Structure 1
Amino acid sequence: MIKKIGEAGKVALMAGMLAGTAMLAGCSPAPAGQAQKKTEFNIGWSIYAGWMPWPYAQQAGIVKKWADKYHIKINIVQVNDYVESVNQFNAGKFDGVTVTNMDALTIPAAAGKDTSAIIMGDYSNGNDGVLLKGANSIAALKGKQVYLVELSVSHYLLARALGTAGLSLSDVKTVNTSDADIVGAFSSPDAQAAVAWNPQLSVMRGQQGVNQVFSSAQVPGEILDLLTVDTATLKANPDLGKALAGIWYETMALMKRQDAQGKAARAAMAKLAGTTPEVFDNQLKTTFLYDDPKAAVAATGSPSLVTTMTRVRDFSFSKGLFKGASSADAVGMSFPGGKTLGEAQHVTLRFDDSFMKMAADGKL
């Protein structure tokens, strides 16, 4: 559920990792708090079921409502290539971006950009899957080429799937394929296995003779979709965090309604995603949305998040995504309650529940 990488995105990602080498070799990242106070902000997003509330909120006037409340302007900006959106955030072109937990860690945080995850949006509960033609077991993947977006949560999901059958990534050969090309690539008779996310997953799964042998529903809570914001920008402009939380939870409340208004909102999101309301609703069934801020706060403060991020960072380190690092501890993370993972002096990914708490307490 990393959304788009491809060859160009992979090159950009590798460039970002190389840029992070100096930090991981021993230089501390610049401290948060050096950003300027400002009134206009840009938030990047890309198409995925769990992120469609953001463009809908802009279309419906919810973004303007909350931005006006705090006397700021928020632009919700679509980027067709997911990894490019994260790279643009990393480069400072966006103040915030929709991103998975793994990519928040391996792209901005690993490059030394102090990043705060302020909204726990959802987790993939079947939106990502491992597909196989002509067989129906994970063990049958051994020796096969597997088409996927390399160095992504698809890669992570494959590793988790193989582990359940006593296999490892060395037992397969991965073929790096962009999300834009993976449906076509998998339709070739030569392609026997793939890992993908929705909407591509549902299209590929519908091909004749294809079986889904593993999905993210079997590792619930491990593939997380977040809204992250530059920590320094957030510190200088806390009203941005308040407005974004207000936007998210107002949109969530509307989205989950089963009346005509809720149905219309979901249909509008489907249109923005380029799909039908029926397909979009099916994608939502495999997306566990944290539509209640209290539930999001609880999930962010749960010990299971630390366990998940330990798995994710260990996998990322094993794949060389912490370029120049001597251990998985090189990129530090902080969690609510003062908990840290990795080097406390190198914390560049922060799970910040303060704005979700404000929403839960009705203090926005």
Structure 2
Amino acid sequence: MLKLTGISAKTGRKLALLAAVSLLAACSGSAPPPAKKHDFTIGWSIYAGWMPWPYAQQAGIVKKWADKYGIDIKVVQVNDYVESVNQYTAGKFDGVTVANMDALTIPAAGGKDTSAIIIGDYSNGNDGVLLKGADNLAAIKGRQVYLAELSVSHYLLARALEKAGLSFADVKTTNTSDADIVGAFASPQVNAAVAWNPQLSVMRGQAGVKQVFSSADVPGEILDLLVVDTATLKANPDFGKALAGIWYETMAVMQRQDAQGKAARAAMAKLAGASPETFDSQLTTTYLYTDPKAAVAATTSPALVTTMTRVRDFSYSKGLFKGAASADAVGMAFPNGKTLGDAAHVTLRFDESFMKMAADGKL
């Protein structure tokens, strides 16, 4: 998963946890739901699967759907991914683009009731485990692995070790920010790393480097979402309708293979600071849910519950549910009435209703 941050992942995660703890205390009482409003903001950061949002604003698609529902939506870039999620958690944004693990461990664990209303994609090779001088995963045993700790890279390493019959006891990890990991991996002393694109592709191009595991080996587990504040959504359902309309119209444009589709993807590449060729390459390892029916199916599938169980168990094991007595402390709700964890304290909801409206042509 591609993220650009101006602070280290470790520092960002500490800030996230502090925000989570503060919000848990602040949200312990019952607050009235927000009133209907006119102006909304969505925060985003650079990642191949999230570039449709700024493009949609640039192309007038955001305005078109916002006007349809008589509201105003602004799509705001935050260069630091973790900070974008922190700002959403603190109430600066009404919604944010975020990975499933981070939606759980930052806003949801902090007590902010959050709804995932669009499953946009899953990483299908955008995250990978790299080794020098070896071409099999088993060779990772005993190595020092450089990665952004407590991020999706850490989760991917856990899944890789599990697949290889190993555990964290078999490796050591060194926390490295995404801004520093390319340079660190270039050192002869560093022979193992986990990274996301675009850093991953740069590191993989070094002599003697092999990718021995990737998110393509655990498809559907590293999900990229658009989440919104649940109370705001309940008070303003047209906000959710407009966002679904924006997303799927943009999907229809960017997947076209004619001049219009090519121009849209080139515009997204420019917004991401990449060449069209590089951006198209990143899209090949990003499984976009361009069809709302497929997105609804993914959201209602039992596989999502299985994935989120793995994610929450990993997160709890790494201390990301600050002060929690068990992994069940943070409740999650899924379609069809399924709940994971504490049903009395649900703060992460997978809501398929707006994607279904798009699928049914009812937006």
Q: Same fold (TM over 0.5)?
A: yes
Contact 1:134 1:210 (8 Å CA) reproduced: yes
Which residue in the other structure is 1:261 paired with?
A: 260
Distance in structure 1 (CA, Å) of the matches to 2:109 and 2:193 = 27
Which residue in the other structure is 2:163 paired with?
A: 164
Distance in structure 1 (CA, Å) of the matches to 2:349 and 2:2 = 19
Contact 1:2 1:103 (8 Å CA) reproduced: no
TM-score norm. by structure 1 comes to 0.96
Amino acid aligned to 1:168: S
Is residue 2:12 matched to residue 1:12?
no
Q: What's the CA shift for 1:145?
A: 1.4
Q: What's the CA shift for 1:219?
A: 0.3
Q: Which moved more, 1:138-147 or 1:251-260?
A: 138-147
Distance in structure 2 (CA, Å) of the matches to 1:205 and 1:29 = 49
- The SS at the match of 2:344 is helix
Distance in structure 2 (CA, Å) of the matches to 1:17 and 1:145 = 30
Q: What's the CA shift for 1:203?
A: 0.8
Distance in structure 2 (CA, Å) of the matches to 1:204 and 1:78 = 26
Structure-to-structure mapping, 1:15-54, within 5 angstroms: 15-19=18-22, 22=25, 28=28, 30=30, 34-54=33-53
Contact 1:336 1:353 (8 Å CA) reproduced: yes
Aligned residues: 360
Which residue in the other structure is 2:114 paired with?
A: 115
Q: What's the CA shift for 1:14?
A: 2.8
Contact 2:2 2:46 (8 Å CA) reproduced: no
Amino acid aligned to 1:102: M
Contact 1:29 1:112 (8 Å CA) reproduced: no
Q: RMSD in angstroms over aligned alpha carbons?
A: 1.5
Q: What's the CA shift for 1:30?
A: 3.8
Amino acid aligned to 1:56: Y
Distance in structure 2 (CA, Å) of the matches to 1:252 and 1:13 = 31
Q: What's the CA shift for 1:21?
A: 6.0
Distance in structure 2 (CA, Å) of the matches to 1:30 and 1:126 = 42
TM-score norm. by structure 2 comes to 0.96
Contact 1:97 1:227 (8 Å CA) reproduced: yes
- The SS at the match of 1:191 is coil
Distance in structure 1 (CA, Å) of the matches to 2:25 and 2:144 = 35
Distance in structure 2 (CA, Å) of the matches to 1:83 and 1:30 = 27
Distance in structure 2 (CA, Å) of the matches to 1:131 and 1:219 = 16
Is residue 2:296 matched to residue 1:297?
yes
Q: What's the CA shift for 1:22?
A: 4.8
Which residue in the other structure is 2:280 paired with?
A: 281
- The SS at the match of 2:120 is strand
Q: What's the CA shift for 1:20?
A: 5.6
Contact 1:21 1:325 (8 Å CA) reproduced: no
Q: What's the CA shift for 1:345?
A: 0.4
Q: What's the CA shift for 1:354?
A: 0.7
- The SS at the match of 1:42 is strand
Unaligned runs of 5+ in 2: none
Contact 1:2 1:82 (8 Å CA) reproduced: no
- The SS at the match of 1:357 is helix
Partner deviation per Cα, 1:312-359 (whole Å, 9 max, x = no partner): 001111111111111111000001111100110010000001110111
Is residue 2:224 matched to residue 1:225?
yes
Is residue 2:62 matched to residue 1:59?
no
Contact 1:28 1:345 (8 Å CA) reproduced: no
Amino acid aligned to 2:34: A
Amino acid aligned to 2:70: H
Distance in structure 1 (CA, Å) of the matches to 2:24 and 2:53 = 33
Amino acid aligned to 1:15: L
Contact 2:133 2:209 (8 Å CA) reproduced: yes
Which residue in the other structure is 1:314 paired with?
A: 313
Which residue in the other structure is 1:93 paired with?
A: 92
- The SS at the match of 1:345 is coil
Is residue 2:129 matched to residue 1:139?
no
- The SS at the match of 2:305 is helix
Q: What's the CA shift for 1:7?
A: 3.8
Amino acid aligned to 1:244: L
Partner deviation per Cα, 1:223-257 (whole Å, 9 max, x = no partner): 00000000011111111101100000000000100
Distance in structure 1 (CA, Å) of the matches to 2:77 and 2:167 = 36
Unaligned runs of 5+ in 1: none
Q: Which moved more, 1:137-146 or 1:240-249?
A: 137-146
Contact 1:115 1:228 (8 Å CA) reproduced: yes
Which residue in the other structure is 1:188 paired with?
A: 187
Contact 1:101 1:226 (8 Å CA) reproduced: yes
Going from structure 1 to structure 2, the CA distance change for 1:49 and 1:2 (only over 3 Å counts) comes to: closer
Amino acid aligned to 2:19: G
- The SS at the match of 1:344 is coil
Amino acid aligned to 1:36: A
Distance in structure 1 (CA, Å) of the matches to 2:163 and 2:356 = 37
Contact 1:29 1:114 (8 Å CA) reproduced: no
Distance in structure 2 (CA, Å) of the matches to 1:313 and 1:43 = 25
- The SS at the match of 1:194 is strand
Distance in structure 1 (CA, Å) of the matches to 2:162 and 2:129 = 13
